[in-house]
Structure 1
Amino acid sequence: MALTYRSFSRRRFLGGSAVAVTAGALGMPFVHTARAQAATFKAGVITSLSGENILGGNLTKRGYDLWADTVNEKGGVEVAGERFKVEMFYGDDQSNPATGADAAERLIVQNEVDVLFGPYTSGSTIAVQPICQKYQVPMISGSAESPNVWKAKPEFNFGIIPSVDTTSGLSLGVLAKLSNPAAKTVAVIGVNEPFSKETGEGFRDGVEAAGLELVAYELVPPEGDLTPVISKIAALNPDVVAVGGHEEPLINVVKTSKSLNFRPKALIMHYGVTNPAFAEALGADADGTTGVAVWLPTVPYKDDVFGTAQEFTAMAQKKSGVEPDYTEAGCAASGLVLGDALKRLGKKPALTPEDRVALKDAIAETDIQTFYGPIKFEKEGNHYHDNIQPVPVLIQIQGGKTVAVGPKEAAAAPFTYPLPAWK
């Protein structure tokens, strides 16, 4: 995430120590020391283990660790008919991008990791990308969602979660197919801040692809009275209102719409709807609000490591005591990408510098089905090396609970459309 609502991140280095030849010692970026034939592959995790993003950082760590624990229980990653366990090393970005870059360098130079698993926030991810390029070490990012990560065309970084500009736009196509009578017009509100603006732009750009008509696109400040904007949109009477913003602006859109007695046939927002604080703040007025998720435990996907999405959920819940969200799932799926690429690469640990470049190339050719959904990385354009394959899941608050309503194969309840008048 980003340049996203998850803000920027740092991390304190927490990994073990290892003998290394540093850049300063040899006047070159990195020399792989003569590691004897190793028994394990080394993976470095960079995420927010302290600071304001610690909760999200813990989500990423749980996902990466769940994969490592699961494959190690099976004997490790399979390569050339043998199995090799995965050893995890950790770097704390302390919720700050610059510290994340420092942590990545230490993991590579001191711990000699073969691969990195990426940070919680897109800000830290962007800061780490030049380190990956400098040392020619691949990174698989299970959390980053800002399109700015992929617009930079990072050679050594690969993203599991589709960026917000794609998921928000695609979600309108899902909504359009479910609407009856068919939705025709859309008004979009974007909050003028990172992530929120990108989400709003995704909604805006997705209108035409969904076969709908854009009647308004309004960019609003994060704080302030929304009455003029909602009044203007109400006069246009669009079928759908789409909003890119954090929880508080989303809540204010609902409150302002009700105060003006304006009720569109559908109100769609982004991930904030899944935050319990949204429904708690609005009570019954939250009902009917639609949101977007890139993964839910109900999706109809499976793989040979975790099984079905439901089985993965049970496994994660048993380990941590809480149901996994899409971030934890995306991070666990990052490990599946690594395991698949290592198997195809056919190189046993420890990897040489040349092997790590070859591993990057193997990751780029990923084309697998997982409990998280399909994973295949873009090879050109503004989403270079991002996985934009998964179809977003449309969720709706019904009776105070968040349920999946589309696409049909992932739905747990019918889509309420059009929304009834305010009570």
Structure 2
Amino acid sequence: MRKSLMAALLVASAVLPAAGLAQANTLTIGFTSSETGKLNADATPQLRGFEMWRDQVNANGGIKAGGTDYKVKLKYYDDQSKAGRVQQLYSRLILQDNADFLFSPYSSGLTSTAAVVSEQFGKIMLTTGAAEGKTYKLGNKYLFQMYTPAAQYLKSALEVVKANNPKAKIALVYSNDGFSQGAAAGAADAAKSMGLNIVLNQSYSPDTTDFGPIINKIVSSGANVLIGGGHYADGSTLARQLYDKKSNLEFISLLVAPDIPKFASLGEAAEGVTVPSQWEPSVAYKPDFGPTASQFTTMFQNKYHTKPGYHAAGGYAAGLVLQHAIEQAGSIKTAAVAKTLNAMDATTFYGHIRFATKADEHGLQIGHDMVLAQWQQGSDGKLESKVVWPKSASNAAIVYPLKKSH
């Protein structure tokens, strides 16, 4: 498949203008975004992060490299949440739109498809919203991952269980997409090493809307803890149905969905649910460059009238890291920028950033740490997302066990 793709792309490149050179002091950054389809709720905040970064860079005169100021142009298409569109669109971004650099789509599955194209053409792609680790084990040279890898996602939730009830019975229930499977596999390994007991290991289709049969399995297993999930559509539905069916779980930690601000609209079904988070507004990292977390949060709220979650932060941080690498390299040439990214060991508002440079894991994120957030009632009675783990980063005590309505 890779050979046939390469052949098709080489034919296309022979009849199209040479790509990759900035034109009229403009840097074009290409990507796709799920403006429609099941990944829209997750992809929209990431897109907003990209756009806010672009607007700020351009308002400040552009990216400065080699004595030239480059304004940023974002060129993107709707991938409709479908991998089948991503290959075609990333080829178009490179061959027709002359993208100088690339951002990834949202989700590990779409990103792995985009990576085939970006690597064929030797294009730097910063991947955000894409935590699955295996894409970085294939000898790729130009991918740079912003997210902590999927295998580590649920480790913090298991640490909470270990600290509060080491004899808990855990149901590991997750979407059978690549990212969620990777997170679940990592969780299973971590649970075993911690001496925790997984009594149910169950996957489900990402399109599941009726979790009744799975909830029955959870209850029958005797589980009092649930970890897993997938993305927003399935995760929010699972949380609501767990509450409606009075599953009475002591602790729930779901991937992705609870970090989307509209998860709070579930009301009591959202209360107490935790999420492994790449970033939260309350973190207090001291950045080597760019805004603080507080400044980023204020800017984002002023622009979009909602609090940013880690999807938005990851999008903005990807732009910030690319900008810093270009400016440090003093060049927009791929080799120079890649060299700077390979050497990067820095802290931003989003946290520590460092990329693996070994050939068998190149571009894997090895510097960034995650936190665990929980939806709790604020003083005004409204739900707020609070950092509860690790304790060194927390701004609230964890609620464990949950109220019996769960």
Q: What TM-score do the two structures reach when normalised by structure 1?
A: 0.78
The 3 A distance-change label for structure 1 pair 230 and 371 is same
For residues 144 and 86 of structure 1, do their structure 2 counterparts lie closer, same or farther at Cα, with a shift above 3 Å needed? Answer: farther
Match of 1:397 in 2: 375
Aligned-pair CA distance for 1:377:
1.5
Matched, 1:214 2:197: yes
The CA deviation at 1:138 is 0.7
CA distance in 2, matches of 1:84, 1:408: 43
Kindly provide the amino acid, as one letter, of the partner of residue 102 in structure 2: L
| 1:20-40, Cα deviation, whole Å (9 max, x unpaired) | xx954874997458878x533
- Structure 1 residues 329 and 26 mapped into 2: Cα distance closer, same or farther (>3 Å)? closer
Match of 1:307 in 2: 291
Shift of residue 303, structure 1, vs aligned partner: 2.7
Take 1:26 and 1:241, find their aligned partners in 2: how far apart are those partners? 50
Q: 2:218 aligns with which of 230, 235, 251?
A: 230
Which residues of 2 match residues 1-400 of structure 1 at below 5 A?
23-24=10-11, 27=14, 31-32=18-19, 39-80=25-66, 82=67, 84-95=69-80, 96-173=82-159, 175=160, 179=163, 183-194=166-177, 195-209=179-193, 211-221=194-204, 222=208, 223-226=211-214, 228-234=216-222, 240-245=225-230, 246-256=235-245, 258=246, 262-264=248-250, 266-275=251-260, 280-281=265-266, 283-284=267-268, 286-303=270-287, 305-347=289-331, 351=332, 355-380=333-358, 384-399=362-377, 400=383
The 8 Å contact of residues 289 and 347 in structure 2, kept in 1 or not, is answered as no
Structure 2 residue aligned with 1:19: none
Deviations for 1:227-254, whole angstroms, at most 9, x for unmatched residues?
Answer: 55234432xx66x442334222333344
The change in CA–CA distance for 1:382 and 1:255 in structure 2 (over 3 A counts) is: farther
AA partner of residue 94 (structure 1): D
Q: Which runs of 5+ in 1 are unaligned?
A: 1-21
The secondary structure found in structure 1 opposite 2:213 is coil
1:119–1:275 Cα change, 3 Å: closer
2:285 and 2:293 in contact (8 A); partners too: yes
Cα distance in 2 for residues equivalent to 1:332 and 1:26: 31
Letter in 1 for 2:217: V
* Matches of 1:226 and 1:50, distance apart in 2: 28
CA distance in 1, matches of 2:44, 2:249: 38
Aligned-residue offset at 1:375: 0.9
Amino acid at match of 1:417: Y
Structure 2 contact 239–270 (Cα < 8 Å) conserved? no
SS in 1 for 2:154: helix
Q: Partner of 2:6 in structure 1?
A: none
**Equivalent residue number for residue 397 of structure 2:** 414
- The verdict on how the C-alpha distance between 1:275 and 1:79 changes in structure 2, with shifts beyond 3 A counting, is closer
Q: Which has more radius of gyration?
A: 1
* Paired residue secondary structure (1:395): strand
Over aligned residue pairs, what C-alpha RMSD do you find? 3.3
Distance 1:201 1:300 in 2: 31
Cα pair 2:63 2:71 within 8 Å, conserved: yes
Report the alpha carbon displacement of residue 203 of structure 1 after superposing the two structures with TM.
2.2
Distance in 2 separating the partners of 1:387 and 1:69: 26
Give the conservation status (yes or no) of the 8 Å contact 1:263–1:419.
yes
How many residues align structurally? Answer: 382
Structure 1 residue 374 displacement after superposition: 0.7
| CA spacing shift, 1:208–1:119, aligned 2, 3 Å | same
Once residues 345 and 398 of structure 1 are traced to their aligned partners in structure 2, the CA distance between those partners, rounded to angstroms, is 44
Contact 2:27/2:100, CA 8 A, preserved across alignment: yes
Change (3 A) 1:243 1:156: same
Deviation at 1:319, TM superposition (A): 2.1
Structure 2 gap segments, 5+ residues each: 1-8, 378-382
Question: How far apart are 1:136 and its partner, in Å?
Answer: 1.1
TM-score under structure 2 normalisation? 0.81
State the alpha-carbon separation in 2 of the partners of residues 306 and 299 from structure 1: 15
- Counterpart of 1:164 in structure 2: which amino acid? A
> What SS does the aligned partner of 1:126 have?
helix
